[in-house]
Structure 1
Amino acid sequence: MSVKNSLFLVLLLFIPVSFAAHFLEWGELAVFITAGLAILPLAAWMGTATEEIAVVTGPSLGGLLNATFGNATELIIALVALNAGLVDVVKASITGSIISNLLLVMGLSMLLGGLRYKEQEFQPIVARVNASSMNLAMIAILLPTTVDFTSSGITAATLQNLSVAVAIVLILVYGLTLLFSMKTHSYLYDVGLAESASDETGQTHLSTGTNQHNLGLWIGVLLASTLLVAIESELLVDSLEVATSQLGLTALFTGVILVPIIGNAAEHATAITVAMKNKMDLSVSVAVGSSMQIALFVAPVLVLAGRAIGQPMDLDFNPFELVAVAVSVLIANSISSDGRSNWLEGTLLLATYVVLGLAFYFHPIIDGIG
């Protein structure tokens, strides 16, 4: 068993601990910390179960399954926060997930992979397609904010309607990216798909037949993990405001930095692990693909879900968050465009993330976020 899997097994102990902290009233801070730690292994189990089910269902359905459940943890946490009325925290978690994947995950992957291998290569064509998709996503979340900033007297209902329309466009584009990657141009992604079957779960699948016998087990694991993530997310969100106040943190910093790290921990570990095995195609695919899914699928779904549950959410983000996303997309695209990476490029991405993190930490309370 790998060190990563052993660590996630140990972290499962925090599930009963978080329940005890809640029911025995150990305090909001204890609940927040233990619930956050409990979500880490559950997210890993969700990812593993999804991969195992994908092996049985085949590349097309399996790819769709991965595309749908790839960021399920972040989506669940965001939905719970949205239902609680923490719209600004949800928006912060969206921008934070994009930033952390492009800068923290890809930066660590390039740094640690580059320390072991002088230079690593990945598909430049795929990198360019991903860059174009991220540019579209950046434009889509920039325009509603620009409309609000440049218009006097625009109503919240108008911004909400604009955001819903943009969300529908983004979901359609996300569907087309799936068609591109899984059907019309699947050959461009063959390397990453082949490697993910053995590397992403930390072990080689013995045979499709073996996995078919365990299909019911993995479906059960996926459902149980999803349910527990929802419960732990409820504990996390309920204790968030008091706990972050006790820690001296604003909700903006928590949403942009802490929540994405909790939700993306399993994917972070996977991307870094495979990069150290000189599998940068898969590593970049995990990091950039996760950012694309957040921008083109998770954010639009949250806009539509907010309207459905009576917690309206639009795509009018805080301008400072948009600057951070734009900076992240710009430097990530410029570094990945040539299909090569080294340790210095990884350091540059990490330095950008640290600088942005410091800026969010010292950013004053604004617009009710804090």
Structure 2
Amino acid sequence: MADRTKPMAGPNSHLEMGSLDGRSVLEFEDESLFSPRTMSIKNSSLDAAPHRSFYEAEEFGCKCIFSRTFNSIRRVMFSDKLNLLVPCGPLAIIVDTWTSHHVWVFFLSLLGIIPLAERLGWATEQLACFTGPTVGGLLNATFGNATELIISMYALNNGMIRVVQQSLLGSILSNMLLVLGCAFFGGGIVHSHKEQLFNKANAALNSGLLLMAVMGLLFPAVLHFTHTELHFGKSELALSRFSSCVMLVAYAAYLFFQLTSQKNLYSPVNEGDQTDGSSEEEETPEMSKWESIIWLAILTICISVLSEYLVNAIEGASVSMNIPVAFISVILLPIVGNAAEHAGAVMFAVKDKLDISLGVAIGSSTQISMFAIPFCVIVGWIIGRPMDLNFQLFETAVLFMTVLVVAVMLQEGTSNYFKGFMLLLCYLIVAASFFVHLDPKSIRYKRDARYTRLKLTDLQTSTIFDLKVSSVHSICLSISQF
């Protein structure tokens, strides 16, 4: 039995690698082992093996791609309850096409942008898992402000410069007071037994950049209201464009400083106290890097389409609801645009990652003030729109006081729910102020309209008087001739 089951190596016995029907098999060239029985077993085994043709492989690949695409759509569009508002976007387009109800178009497009902005922030977080904490924080701030920047580009292209200025200003105020206040309040309630800590040096750096932005906005406004321009109507615009270039250079230097010298910018301050065994597991992404990039592009396009309908309906909604355009631009639009930052900042604060919350809220305000506003000025310069840094005296004063209040709150490097509650109350005061605030350009427009109506009334009165005089004169002539 041993001789039949175990081949003997001899001079006439050796192994060769052969190929039969594309499969590697072992061929034995010893005559004692070659028999019709072994050959039949070999052939039957090869015939029983499944052969996958090219078309079956292609069908399998298509099914795999379809399955991955379906799972990606389900994960992005059906995994959050806020996505129930997505149909509001197509409804806004339908209402705008078939009717002229600007209020419905405004609110439907506003509600439709909310879930898209939230999903944009979620896709950014998925992409940040592949880039590291510092680049991830910058990505969160950048794509979190994509909604405001897209709305500003459409408004700027339509010549609505005040809407651009007020919406960007409102985004800064919303991030610094509403988003940061909710983060401090939520984190303080959950961790009421201790004071939450954050990196005081990074907060001071962002506060300094915000004060620099206030300086860039303050000087053109003061130059305008003191009537001290060297060339009236030109010096203010030239100063705004020069200051915008300087602010963009400063922001580029800030990014370089972040990426090179501050690589642990968004890491918690108490990270060194945690051991490897007690530290939290890193969050794993729910989609691949290229899926995140594709979804970022798709969501940005959808937000761009709805932003056009939103901007076109602002003035009609303001007239229909009798609400100032300033309140819509400063309060309502930024709340929608900051939906992603709002949810993310509160979530990180509840998880005791307050440095990331500050990176999202204060970092977003810094990016808008040092990049988005100067960028709009430069784009307006290119396309021939006189966009400047004169945000009017009232708006500039509100921004200056907001930056001072937040800088005082951040100087200790600690947070609690009372500080968050104070920031929320400050935001209520700002909202009430803009609700009763009338834009000076609107006042000037009404004044010009009233003057025009008076001139038309005088013209009509003088015309009627001339007609009466001429009729009396003609009657007198006819009597004299008779």
Q: TM-score, normalised by structure 1?
A: 0.89
User: C-alpha separation between the residues in 2 aligned to 1:268 and 1:331?
Assistant: 20
Partner of 1:40: 114
User: C-alpha separation between the residues in 2 aligned to 1:299 and 1:105?
Assistant: 20
Match of residue 82, structure 1, among 152, 156, 166: 156
Pairwise CA distance, 1:217: 2.3
User: C-alpha separation between the residues in 1 aligned to 2:173 and 2:134?
Assistant: 29
Match of residue 297, structure 2, among 194, 207, 223: 223
Give 2:157's aligned amino acid.
N
Query: Per the alignment, in what secondary structure is the counterpart of residue 190 of structure 1?
Result: coil
Change (3 A) 1:78 1:61: same
Partner of 1:200: none
Kept in 2: contact 1:180–1:186 (CA 8 A): no
Partner of 1:233: 307
Residues 343-364 of structure 1 deviation map (CA, whole Å, 9 limit, x = unaligned): 1111111111111111111113
Partner of 1:341: 415
Judge which range, 157-166 or 71-80, deviates more: 157-166
Q: Of the two structures, which has the highest relative contact order with CA contacts closer than 8 Å and spacing of 6 or more?
A: 1
Give 1:229's aligned amino acid.
I
User: C-alpha separation between the residues in 1 aligned to 2:435 and 2:354?
Assistant: 31
Partner of 2:380: 306
Pairwise CA distance, 1:78: 0.7
Match of residue 146, structure 1, among 222, 231, 242: 222
1:8 partnered with 2:75: no
Q: Within 5 Å, which residues of 2 pair with 1:273-352?
A: 273-352=347-426
Kept in 2: contact 1:181–1:189 (CA 8 A): no
Partner of 1:170: 247
Residues 56-91 of structure 1 deviation map (CA, whole Å, 9 limit, x = unaligned): 355676565445433111100011111111101111
Q: Within 5 Å, which residues of 2 pair with 1:29-108?
A: 29-57=103-131, 65-66=139-140, 68-108=142-182
1:206 partnered with 2:274: no
Give 1:223's aligned amino acid.
A
Question: Quick check: which one's helix share is greater?
Answer: 1
Give 1:257's aligned amino acid.
I
Give 1:178's aligned amino acid.
L
User: C-alpha separation between the residues in 2 aligned to 1:67 and 1:123?
Assistant: 18
User: C-alpha separation between the residues in 2 aligned to 1:294 and 1:5?
Assistant: 30
User: C-alpha separation between the residues in 2 aligned to 1:176 and 1:8?
Assistant: 38
Pairwise CA distance, 1:243: 0.7
Kept in 2: contact 1:63–1:182 (CA 8 A): no
Partner of 2:233: 156
Judge which range, 360-369 or 254-263, deviates more: 360-369
Percent identical residues: 36
Residues 119-146 of structure 1 deviation map (CA, whole Å, 9 limit, x = unaligned): 2111111111111111111111111112
Root mean square deviation of aligned Cα = 2.5
Partner of 1:197: none
User: C-alpha separation between the residues in 2 aligned to 1:139 and 1:294?
Assistant: 15
Which aligned runs of 4 or more in structure 1 are off by greater than 4 angstroms? Answer: 57-67
User: C-alpha separation between the residues in 2 aligned to 1:110 and 1:36?
Assistant: 27
Judge which range, 359-368 or 34-43, deviates more: 359-368
Change (3 A) 1:18 1:181: same
User: C-alpha separation between the residues in 2 aligned to 1:142 and 1:285?
Assistant: 25
Change (3 A) 1:217 1:64: same
Match of residue 263, structure 2, among 179, 182, 186: 186
Change (3 A) 1:62 1:188: closer
Query: Per the alignment, in what secondary structure is the counterpart of residue 352 of structure 2?
Result: coil
Partner of 1:243: 317
Give 1:350's aligned amino acid.
L
Judge which range, 24-33 or 323-332, deviates more: 24-33
Kept in 1: contact 2:129–2:136 (CA 8 A): yes
Judge which range, 309-318 or 64-73, deviates more: 64-73
1:136 partnered with 2:212: yes
User: C-alpha separation between the residues in 1 aligned to 2:367 and 2:172?
Assistant: 9
- The structure with the larger Rg is 2
User: C-alpha separation between the residues in 2 aligned to 1:242 and 1:163?
Assistant: 30
Match of residue 332, structure 2, among 258, 268, 288: 258
Pairwise CA distance, 1:245: 1.8
User: C-alpha separation between the residues in 2 aligned to 1:282 and 1:21?
Assistant: 40
Pairwise CA distance, 1:274: 1.8
User: C-alpha separation between the residues in 1 aligned to 2:338 and 2:105?
Assistant: 20
Give 1:7's aligned amino acid.
K
Judge which range, 287-296 or 341-350, deviates more: 341-350
User: C-alpha separation between the residues in 2 aligned to 1:64 and 1:281?
Assistant: 13
Pairwise CA distance, 1:168: 0.9
Query: Per the alignment, in what secondary structure is the counterpart of residue 264 of structure 2?
Result: helix
Residues 114-173 of structure 1 deviation map (CA, whole Å, 9 limit, x = unaligned): 122122111111111111111111111111112222334543332222111111111111
